[in-house]
A and B are shown apart, each in its own frame.
Chain A
Amino acid sequence: MRTHGLGVDLTERARRAAEPLGRLAAVSGPFLVLGAVVAGIVFPETPASGQSRTASHSASHSVVARSKLVLSSGSLLFPSADPDTVPEVAATGGALTIQVRATVSAGDPVTLTVVASDDLRSGLDAIPASALHWTGSGPGFAALGTMSAAVPQPVGNWSGSGAWTGLQTYLLTNSWSHPTGTFTTTLLYTLTTP
Chain B
Amino acid sequence: MDRIKRWPLPAGIAAVLIGLWAGPAEAQGLMGLSLSASSVTFPAADPDTTPVIAAPPLTITFYSLRRNWQITVIASGDLTSGSSSIPISNVSWTATPAPPFQDGVMSSTVAQLVASGNAWVYMTGTIFYSLVNSWTYNVGTYSVTITYTLSAV
Contact = CB atoms under 8 A, between A and B. Distances in A.
A17 B7 CA distance: 19
Contact of B39 (A58, A63, A160): A58
A36 B30 contact: yes
A31 B12 CA distance: 5
Contact of B23 (A28, A40, A53, A55): A40
A161 B138 contact: yes
Interface residues of B, number: 77
Contacts of A105: 138-140
Interface in B32-68: 32-35, 37-44, 46-48, 53, 55, 58, 60, 62, 65-68
Most buried by A among B20, B32, B141: B20
Contacts of A27: 4-5, 8, 11
Contacts of A61: 41-42, 44, 53, 79, 86, 131, 141-143
Which of the four size classes fits the interface of chain A?
35 or more
Contacts of B12: 28, 30-31, 34
B149 to A, nearest CB: 5
Nearest to B137: A63
Contacts of B19: 31-39
A60 interface: yes
Contact of B38 (A47, A57, A62, A63): A57
A48 interface: yes
B151 interface: yes
B124 interface: no
Interface of B: 1, 3-5, 8, 11-20, 22-24, 26-35, 37-44, 46-48, 53, 55, 58, 60, 62, 65-68, 75, 79, 81-84, 86, 91, 129, 131, 135-153
Given A59-B144, A103-B138, 7 more contacts: A35-B15, A38-B16, A55-B147, A59-B143, A60-B39, A61-B86, A162-B136
14 contacts: A32-B16, A34-B12, A39-B27, A44-B66, A48-B153, A54-B149, A55-B60, A56-B35, A57-B39, A60-B39, A60-B41, A60-B79, A103-B137, A162-B135
9 residue pairs, one from A and one from B, having the closest CB atoms = A35-B19, A39-B23, A31-B15, A48-B152, A28-B15, A52-B151, A31-B12, A35-B16, A61-B42
